[in-house]
């Protein structure tokens, strides 16, 4: 069974940085694209960014482009989200997710992702 466990969330001041981690188990990590989504109170879940199975391709939501970076360490079965220049509007629960199919880039649609972590809270104070 696939498990995704996020960590690294917390409280940070505006302009600060955090790095989230998502550890995966239960399948061959290096064959699957991964993504990060977030959900703020009272809002729908939204795409943050995604990374291909090999790590060579990434894409981001316009709202985080230039501030957030996704990377992965396949031998460690872990994907990361580095967040710089954080803003109060980045406050949300952040989720990692893995696509359903091997060697498939899931894009920005949540429906393409099969397994999700439990989420980690990020709070940015002004």
Please give the pLDDT value at position 106.
86
Condensed to tens digits (0 to 9), the pLDDT of residues 39-84 reads 999 999 999 999 999 999 999 999 999 999 999 999 999 999 999 9
Please give the pLDDT value at position 14.
98
Q: What percent of the chain has pLDDT over 70?
A: 100
For 62-116, what is the HEC assignment? CCCCCCEEEEEEHHHCEEEEEECCCCHHHCEEEEEEEECCCCCCCCCCHHHEEEE
CA distance 43 to 22: 23
Please give the pLDDT value at position 82.
98
Backbone dihedral region of 63: left (phi > 0), alpha (psi from -120 to 50 degrees) or beta? alpha
């Amino acid at each position: 069974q696939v498990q995704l466990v996020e960590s690294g969330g917390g409280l940070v001041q505006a302009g600060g940085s955090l790095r989230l981690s998502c550890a995966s188990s239960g399948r061959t990590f290096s064959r699957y694209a991964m993504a990060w989504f977030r959900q703020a109170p009272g809002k729908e879940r939204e795409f943050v960014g995604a990374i291909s199975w090999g790590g060579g391709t990434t894409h981001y939501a316009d709202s985080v482009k230039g501030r957030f970076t996704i990377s992965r360490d396949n031998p460690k079965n872990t994907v990361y989200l580095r967040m710089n220049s954080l803003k109060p509007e980045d406050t949300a629960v952040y989720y990692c997710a893995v696509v359903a199919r091997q060697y498939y880039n899931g894009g920005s649609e949540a429906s393409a992702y099969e397994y999700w972590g439990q989420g980690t809270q990020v709070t940015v104070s002004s």
